[in-house]
Amino acid sequence: MNHKILRVSISQQYRLKNKAGNYYNAIISLDMELNHLNQAQRTAVTAPLGPVLVLAGAGSGKTRVLTYRIAYIIEQGFYRPDQILAVTFTNKAAKEMQSRIAKLLSEGGNQKLVSQPVLGTFHSIGVRILRKHISKLGYNPSFSIADSDDQLKIIKDILKDLAVPKQFGAPLFRAYISSAKNLLQTPAQMDLGLDGHIRDLAAQVYARYQDFLFKQNNVDFDDLLMLPIILFQNFPEVLRGFQERWQYILVDEYQDTNQAQYMFLHLLAKTGNIFVVGDDAQSIYGFRGSNIANILNFEKDFPNAQVIKLEQNYRSTKNILAAAQKVIELNSEQKPKTLWTDNSDGDKVVIKEVYDGHAEAVFVAKKIVSISSGEDDELEYDTEEIEQPQTFSILDTFLAQQKRRGGSGKSWSGAMGIPQLPKNHGPLNEFAVLYRTHAQSRQIEEVFITAGIPYHIVGGVKFYERKEIKDVLAYLRLLVNPLDILALDRVINLPPRGIGEKSFEQIRKYLLALPKGLSVDEVASKLEQLTLPPKQRAGLNQFWQILKKASLVPEEVTLSELLKVVVKLSGIDDLLNDGTDTGEVRRENVRELFNVTAKFDNTAWHEGLLMFLEEVALITDLDNLTDERNSVTLMTLHAAKGLEFDTVFFLGLEEGILPHTNSLFDPKELAEEVRLAYVGLTRARQRLFLLYAQGRQMYGSFQNNAPSRILHALPKEVINAVAGTKLAAQDGDYSYEPFE
């Protein structure tokens, strides 16, 4: 095949087939669509085959470039759709790309491409590979994916067995194991810079943990990348198969890749036909193992790489963009680019000094009420109103405030001057409150509740982490993998069946000795040979009969119908139907599962169940985030990347909070804090409020903090400092150590 790419496509015949399965020739033209791209975007979309690095600044249209690139490769006939692999970090991003590509290449009616590009997250691609080839590593293809609770339970049991002191908790060792896997280290290779004794202990826990997962045919989230790489390295024929299958690879958010993801991509990209999009200025997940060097060294890895910069921002106003540009210039370790926009100047960036965290929350509430009501009159909060608010009760504060105001009935009523959201307010889903850590949300939540402002927290308790949902999922996991000890432990006594700790330990040891891949019926037959006291035997038989009846449901039955059977047979529905409000809420949550499983009802239940459990295991907070909820979004800066809002409140811009105390003496971590601030600033489309407090309650005491160096980097011409803000009197210079 001639891989010389034309810079502009006129039209291209492409072989398609209709719903009846008949092939036909159709004309797919991207000419008019390419006119919607700016010059840099067109250069990226039509770049020659081979390695390409697209440095996409915030709001520069990277998703558009990725989807157009895929459509262009298909339209030019360089590769079939099924020869293209596009990797993202969230299911939401993958689905959005899939939808856009389908729209670009649609030819009307029910006609469709013969094949489709493979789009998914790193971990979903890993699952796909493992389902097909994991037997080569000694696992059964029906493996389960252990969730975070499962992992902690395994590690807790191991630590107890090893008599490890309680100060070394399970979360610490889970973090060690995860870090090692992301660095592709086995227990024997484990080296995280730990002291000798701790390193040896961590390696021992890691070895036992992995052995336990293997014996019960489970893998964890990190295994979904590590195990495919082990497959590729030990079975070259498997690697060659996927190299031949996926001949063109695209990667989103390349700056966030860790060592395992880096190795995974480089093993697959044999031909060098790799197209990566990312922004080193938004590399903020170093604590998760992401390595900024992957994007900074792309040209070293691929010497013939073409580098294209997307610098036109379509999201933010000129003032917001100018502020963000000055902040990111504090970070010297970057590929230089200068963002610009054709958007208006917009409002100036507001900087507001408040007394403490509560005053911060009140200011935010007031602004949301005034903006959403169409009455944004630059309401100010008097920072001198309360001298030491942390020493007063809410009632004392309220009474003192009413006395100062002479009992006048102001519209801004309530404790501490908290406003009330009127019924005729405008949409709230375009407001976001960003903070460095989740602990900062408490006072915001308290004030929002008082003000009647609806909100949701990204990163709170997920639907699939609720107890009743995990109970139902445990029954479903056992239908796929009846040797899933963790799932069994969760529900064998739900409802109570009299199986105590000693009996369960006996059952556990027996099951772990069984070969992988047995069916529910086969495991049930094996368990009949186990000697147990009569009461425990009866309870075990009762439990396994539930699983047997569910597993014998005809294959043509839908997943939703199977779910109804499981909920009924297990007794979970009766258990939750206790006449309490809490029980009813939990029943409603279980019923919500039927809305989720419905989309898998077009396949036989066994196949649909496997796909459903995979989706649940791989889902993220951002996958569930929707613009449909009319409420204010509260989230950390890390969770905010990739999102945008009309109005953003950026809290806690103080030394010790941002940059965080833990980063102040490490140049690399300090540089990441700067990038984190840059991400926060560039989430705003129209309005940006930056807040810092004179002091706030931290670690049980009231601490005074200096304004963050981030604020001092901002150009004065784009700032509007609200009255009472001392920063306004400064010249903008600030002394700081350069970031190397």
How many other CB atoms are found less than 10 A from the CB of residue 50? 16
110 touches 18 (CB < 8 A) = yes
Q: What is the rounded CA–CA span in Å between residue 718 and residue 712?
A: 12
Q: What is the rounded CA–CA span in Å between residue 278 and residue 54?
A: 6
Q: Which structure tokens are listed for 151?
A: 């992992």
Question: How is residue 18 annotated by DSSP?
Answer: -
Position of tokens 């890895």?
A: 301
Q: Which structure tokens are listed for 253?
A: 């958010």
Query: Exposed (0-12), middle (13-18) or buried (19+): which is 342, by Cβ within 10 Å?
Result: exposed
Q: What is the rounded CA–CA span in Å between residue 540 and residue 497?
A: 8
159 touches 167 (CB < 8 A) = no
Give catalytic residues, as residue numbers. Answer: 62-63, 252-253, 282, 683
The DSSP bridge pattern shows strands 695-698 and 701-704 to be antiparallel
Q: Which structure tokens are listed for 340?
A: 């610009």
**DSSP letters along 71-96, please?**
HHHHHTTSS-GGGEEEEESSHHHHHH
Nearby residues of 439 by Cβ (< 8 Å), 6 or more positions away: none
The DSSP bridge pattern shows strands 645-650 and 684-693 to be parallel
Q: Which structure tokens are listed for 392?
A: 């007063």
Single-letter amino acid code for the residue at 276: V
328 closest CA partner among 710, 731, 596, 738: 710
Strands (E), 205-317: 218-219, 248-251, 274-278, 306-310
Single-letter amino acid code for the residue at 596: V
Position of tokens 């971990």?
A: 123
Element (H, E) at 198: helix 196-215
- Output phi, psi for 429, to 5 deg: -75, -5
User: Residue length, the chain?
Assistant: 740
224 closest CA partner among 308, 134, 286, 160: 134
Q: What is the CA radius of gyration of the chain?
A: 28
Residue/partner pairs of 175-180 with CB below 8 Å, 24 or more apart? 176/202, 176/205, 176/206, 177/202, 177/205, 177/206, 177/209, 177/222, 178/222, 178/289, 179/289, 180/206
Q: What is the rounded CA–CA span in Å between residue 159 and residue 171?
A: 11
625 touches 92 (CB < 8 A) = yes
Q: What is the rounded CA–CA span in Å between residue 163 and residue 175?
A: 19
CA dist list (Å): 144 to 131, 164, 583, 694: 11, 28, 29, 51
Position of tokens 């206790």?
A: 578
In whole angstroms, what separates CA 664 from the centre of its chain? 26
443 touches 418 (CB < 8 A) = no
Crossing angle between the packed helical segments 534-551 and 467-480, to the nearest 10 degrees: 80
* Rounded-to-5 percentages of helix, strand, coil across the chain: 50, 15, 35
Q: What is the rounded CA–CA span in Å between residue 224 and residue 258?
A: 14
